[in-house]
Structure 1
């Protein structure tokens, strides 16, 4: 069973809030780095004109993304006035509870669409817990 989960959300930056959002996201990234040791990558990207932000993260398994929602979840509400989330995409097989959490986050940050994409084919070269 392949438990790897990738997460991507895309948001519109509210007018005049770009610098404040960049600061908030840098702080959130540092918080995630310090408090979520299993997350493989966590990155925030902005479009060249600063109108759009995408957040991309990779998890070795569903439990890591569930942990992220639990630990970082309280940090989402303060950034709500800075953006309008348009979509959340999850690549992998999340639990029903996780999907419900993602829908709640989507409503909190802008009534975004939540899309789950199941694995069809492929591979990764990520080290497994038993290999490290």
Structure 2
């Protein structure tokens, strides 16, 4: 079984575009929820002054990340006038094809850096059952 990939990107919100960014985040999150059932988690965040947008995603494997890049491309382009992407960090082992797609996305959205971080130690536990019943 492949290890999951943890994806984090950070972008500057362009001046005067916050409302558009919020709408685009909701639209993309809904699209991903409806079209990518294997994706484990997909969350957008804004910092306190609402000047930095961060996306955190958890993919079960590199194939999931590649699919995301393939079907989300048109949606990503819609962010080009709303943000300037600063960085993409991937934690885990993405395929070379996935990394190349990330580089294209990073360039399209502002020339961000793409950094892959390899796991050195650690573990994950399954989510415990809800005991509120």
TM-score range, shorter chain: over 0.9
The structural deviation recorded for 1:41 is 0.4
Gaps of 5+ in 2: 128-133
More divergent stretch after superposition (65-74 vs 84-93) = 65-74
Counterpart position of 1:24: 24
Aligned mates of 2:116, 2:79 — CA distance in 1: 24
Q: Is 1:13 aligned to 2:13, yes or no?
A: yes
Counterpart position of 2:87: 87
The structural deviation recorded for 1:3 is 2.3
Counterpart position of 1:125: 125
Counterpart position of 1:37: 37
Gaps of 5+ in 1: 128-132
Q: Is 1:58 aligned to 2:76, yes or no?
A: no
The structural deviation recorded for 1:75 is 0.7
Q: TM-score, normalised by structure 1?
A: 0.92
Counterpart position of 1:67: 67
SS state of the match for residue 79, structure 1?
A: coil
User: How many corresponding residue pairs?
Assistant: 127
SS state of the match for residue 34, structure 1?
A: helix
